[in-house]
């Protein structure tokens, strides 16, 4: 298949993002999955089972908005969690899903949601301009039935505005943004804030 220039640029961005995220130990083994929405509405997404710190262009595939493969490659089992976010948020251009240890620990402590409030770093999220802010990150039970999990996330987002991310218990978290760089910034901010909350609750030593 001959890929478009837009796809190749997105694939290069995802490979670079994978190296950055892996350098911070947030995608152990072959965990995680990343995607970028292209101008024509198709989506560049990581294939299944590849180490995200060693991605090559051939490890990125093309799917349509319904999560169907357009090039014969096998996408992640969690692809539907990406496409559902793109359908909901027309301005979202990137979805990143690391398996950061702080998110896993957060899910063990807080169970249903984690509230992040009065942190200066909340200004890392698009639209937040003051530390006097509060965001809620929901935590969903892990589920191998991805359509069922996607439906649960959808029901939550139907009821709550201003959501920037969600955690899957014992698993990792999803966050999104208009660009790869913005979404990487969200990962850094969330990981730092999760670490703060864990230390406040005595889970990690300062």
Instruction: Please state whether 91 falls in left (phi above 0), alpha (psi between -120 and 50) or beta.
Output: alpha
Q: What is the mean pLDDT of the chain?
A: 96
> Which residue ranges form the domains of the chain, and what is each CATH number?
5-200 (3.40.225.10)
Which pLDDT value is given to residue 206?
45
Which pLDDT value is given to residue 200?
93
**Distance of alpha carbon 187 from the chain centroid:** 8
Which pLDDT value is given to residue 40?
97
The tokens 């997105």 sit on which residue? 10
In this predicted model, what pLDDT tens digit does every residue of 136-165 receive, in sequence order?
A: 999 999 999 999 999 999 999 999 999 999
Which pLDDT value is given to residue 3?
94
**Residue 1's pLDDT band (cuts 50, 70, 90):** confident
């Amino acid at each position: 298949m001959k890929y478009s220039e837009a796809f190749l640029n997105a694939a290069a961005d995802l490979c670079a993002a994978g190296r950055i995220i892996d350098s911070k130990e947030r995608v152990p083994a072959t965990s995680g999955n990343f995607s970028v929405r292209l101008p024509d509405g198709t989506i560049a997404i990581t294939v299944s089972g590849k180490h995200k710190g060693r991605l090559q262009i051939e490890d990125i595939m093309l799917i349509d908005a319904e999560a169907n493969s357009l090039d014969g490659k096998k996408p992640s089992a969690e692809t539907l969690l990406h496409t559902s976010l793109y359908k909901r948020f027309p301005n979202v251009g990137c979805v990143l899903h690391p398996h950061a240890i702080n998110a896993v620990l957060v899910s063990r402590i807080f169970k249903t949601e984690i509230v992040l409030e009065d942190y200066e770093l909340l200004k890392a999220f698009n639209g937040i301009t003051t530390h006097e802010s509060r965001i809620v990150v929901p935590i969903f039970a892990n589920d191998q039935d991805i359509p069922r999990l996607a439906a649960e996330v959808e029901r939550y987002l139907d009821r709550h505005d201003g959501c920037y991310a969600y955690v899957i218990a014992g698993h990792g978290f999803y966050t999104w943004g208009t660009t790869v760089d913005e979404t990487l910034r969200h990962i850094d901010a969330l990981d730092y804030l999760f670490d703060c909350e864990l230390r406040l609750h005595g889970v990690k030593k300062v």
